[in-house]
Amino acid sequence: MSHKENGNYREIITKAVCGKGRKFSEAVHTISPSHRPSSILGCWIINHKYSAEKKGDNVIVQGSYDINVWFSFNKNTKTDVATQTVTYTDAIPLTMRDDNVLSDQMDVIARAVQQPNTLEATISENGANVEVQVEREFVVDCIGETKVAVAVNPDGIVDDYPTNDYTDEVSDDEYERLDPNFLHGEFDK
């Protein structure tokens, strides 16, 4: 006899995580400053923005960020900051997929577990540009409708769930045994 025939189960349609994925990426971006750099003084990434959507067995994350390179020029006598906005597209494969999902319509939640971060910034071989190596990592969840089976109590709703019969009160005997100097000195520091 199947669970549908004996009536002890119900099928419930609910939203659940129906797909998961994770991807670490590295990229090299070329920044073209207004002057030939003598040395790199610093590099940082700001204004990271991204969106994600499911396409087939992948989640496509599209985003952008600003790379700022602080550099010296004119034989290390002056400094400037070069800023460039870069875009990227990461295809994140779904390594966990629920084949029982009821619809292709899914909500996608993408989180940058590693925000874009500069690994290294170096002056290029031609001496005119700066090459910036960046890392980033995303985790994605796809939320969709799926069907689950739950056991049903054949007797209906249970009114007498067990409760924990305990008390927080301190008895007179326990109170008498308390050591008032237990924490003495801890608060005098």
Give domain status of residue 166, yes or no: no
183 band by pLDDT with thresholds 50, 70 and 90: low
Give domain status of residue 52, yes or no: yes
Q: How many domains are contained in the chain?
A: 1
pLDDT, tens digit, for every residue of 54-74? Answer: 998 899 999 999 999 999 999
Give domain status of residue 9, yes or no: no
163 band by pLDDT with thresholds 50, 70 and 90: low
pLDDT, tens digit, for every residue of 9-46? Answer: 888 888 888 889 999 999 999 999 999 999 999 999 99
Give domain status of residue 4, yes or no: no
Q: What CA–CA distances, in Å, run from 182 to 105, 171, 186?
A: 61, 19, 9
Give domain status of residue 150, yes or no: no
pLDDT, tens digit, for every residue of 110-128? Answer: 999 999 999 999 999 999 9
Give domain status of residue 158, yes or no: no
Give domain status of residue 87, yes or no: yes
- What is the average pLDDT value for the chain, to the nearest integer? 85
Angle 101-104-110 from CA coordinates, rounded to 5°: 90
The tokens of 69 are what? 């390179």
Span 132-158, average pLDDT: 86
DSSP string, 84-126: EEEEEEEEEE-SEE-TT-S-S--EEEEEEEEEEEEEEEEE-TT
Give domain status of residue 46, yes or no: yes
Q: Is the pTM of this model over 0.85?
A: no
- The parent domain of residue 30 ranges over 17-99+107-142
